[in-house]
Amino acid sequence: MDRFISKLLFIAACSSIAILALIALFIFKEGVPIIIRSGLGHFLFGRIWSPLEGQFGILPFIIGSLWVTAGALILGVPLGVACAVFLAEFAPARLAAVLKPAIELLAGIPSVVYGFLGVMWLAPIIRVHLGGPGLSILAASCVLAIMILPTIVGVSIDAIHAVPRSYKEGSLALGATEWQTAWRVILPAARSGILAGVILGMGRAVGETMAVIMISGNATQIPHSILDSVRTLTANIAIEMGYAVGDHREALFATGIVLFFFIMALNTVALRVARRRF
């Protein structure tokens, strides 16, 4: 029975790898030809996306994805780490028992709901008080910052709880306050786990589609301000794949290749950071 279960688990693991390999093979088969015909440099650094004219430059989408992701991290990481420190070190047990599940529930809300709330509430506030069209990098970053909170908070709390209790007791015994202990001892000791949570949150922000489509404005331009509208890599694929044919369809698959490598790099970094000891 043990051998049977072992072989069954091995087959299941191999099937997961095989499925990933088939997905990658299909994406590369469909997307590589247009990259070869257009040239990798022209495809990655071209500024014009005009499928009807045969122009397939995805630089505006790459920059848009980077802007939106960076904005989400700037807003979400400090808030997420602060929430994790409070819940793990300072919050009363009863309060933490309520707040932690409440934050985790944010991960269960459909992304279209976040996008709808952003369109109805956040975008008008930005348009009236800050200017611009409202549907912008800032709006998308705010929405994504909320969406990545459960990942950052959950992983950070686990990392803080993994710090040996003797670290905290030794710091307090030397006369440090609770805050000094959390800032100078607990956070540095949990740094690798917190960074892993941040990188996983970044992967969530890069891969998000529906909410970004609704709130970013979907302008195929290189942004110059956080109040400008943008289109991300994932949004471009989702918007145009339904009617794309020929070179246009291949260009969207090639965009998927770029996104595939980007996400793979993030996951690799996350694994290395999670295993590293500072």
pLDDT in tens, 137-167: 999 999 999 999 999 999 999 999 999 989 9
The pLDDT, as a whole number, for residue 80 is: 93
Tens of pLDDT, residue by residue over 73-82, are 999 999 999 9
Token couple for 56: 């397939």
How many of the other CB atoms lie within 10 Å of CB of 70? 15
Write down the mean pLDDT value for the chain: 89
Residue 125 · residue 132 · CB < 8 Å: no
Residue 188 · residue 274 · CB < 8 Å: no
How many of the other CB atoms lie within 10 Å of CB of 239? 15
The pLDDT, as a whole number, for residue 277 is: 56
Asked if residue 204 has pLDDT above 80, the reply is yes
Question: Cα 25–238–149 angle (5° rounding)?
Answer: 95
Task: Give the closest residue to 49 by CA, choosing from 235, 259, 262, 264.
Answer: 235
**Res. 185 pLDDT band, cuts 50 70 90:** very high
Q: What is the dihedral of CA 169, 171, 174, 179, to 10 degrees?
A: -110
- Please give the DSSP secondary-structure letter assigned to residue 164: -
Asked if residue 268 has pLDDT above 90, the reply is no
In the three-class reduction of DSSP (H, G, I as helix; E, B as strand; rest coil), residue 24 is classed as helix
- The enclosing H or E element of 50 equals strand 49-50
Fold topology of 59-275: MetI-like fold (1.10.3720)
The pLDDT, as a whole number, for residue 144 is: 94
How many of the other CB atoms lie within 10 Å of CB of 150? 21
**Res. 22 pLDDT band, cuts 50 70 90:** very high
Residues in the chain, overall count: 278
Average pLDDT over residues 212-238: 91
**Res. 231 pLDDT band, cuts 50 70 90:** very high
pTM, entire model = 0.86
Asked if residue 278 has pLDDT above 70, the reply is no
Tens of pLDDT, residue by residue over 34-65, are 999 888 889 999 898 988 888 899 999 999 99
Rounded CA gap, 73 and 139, in Å?
Answer: 13
Residue spans of the domains in the chain: they are 59-275
Counting residues of the chain whose pLDDT is more than 70, the rounded percentage is: 97
How many of the other CB atoms lie within 10 Å of CB of 137? 25
Phi, psi of 55 (to 5 degrees): -100, 120
The pLDDT, as a whole number, for residue 275 is: 67
Tens of pLDDT, residue by residue over 121-137, are 999 999 999 988 989 99
Residue type, 62: I
Task: Give the closest residue to 80 by CA, choosing from 60, 61, 107.
Answer: 107
Rounded CA gap, 121 and 126, in Å?
Answer: 9
Q: Tokens 């694929």 sit at which residue? A: 237
The pLDDT, as a whole number, for residue 206 is: 86
Asked if residue 273 has pLDDT above 70, the reply is no
Cα of first residue to Cα of last residue in the chain, in angstroms, is 43
How many of the other CB atoms lie within 10 Å of CB of 74? 11
The pLDDT, as a whole number, for residue 113 is: 93
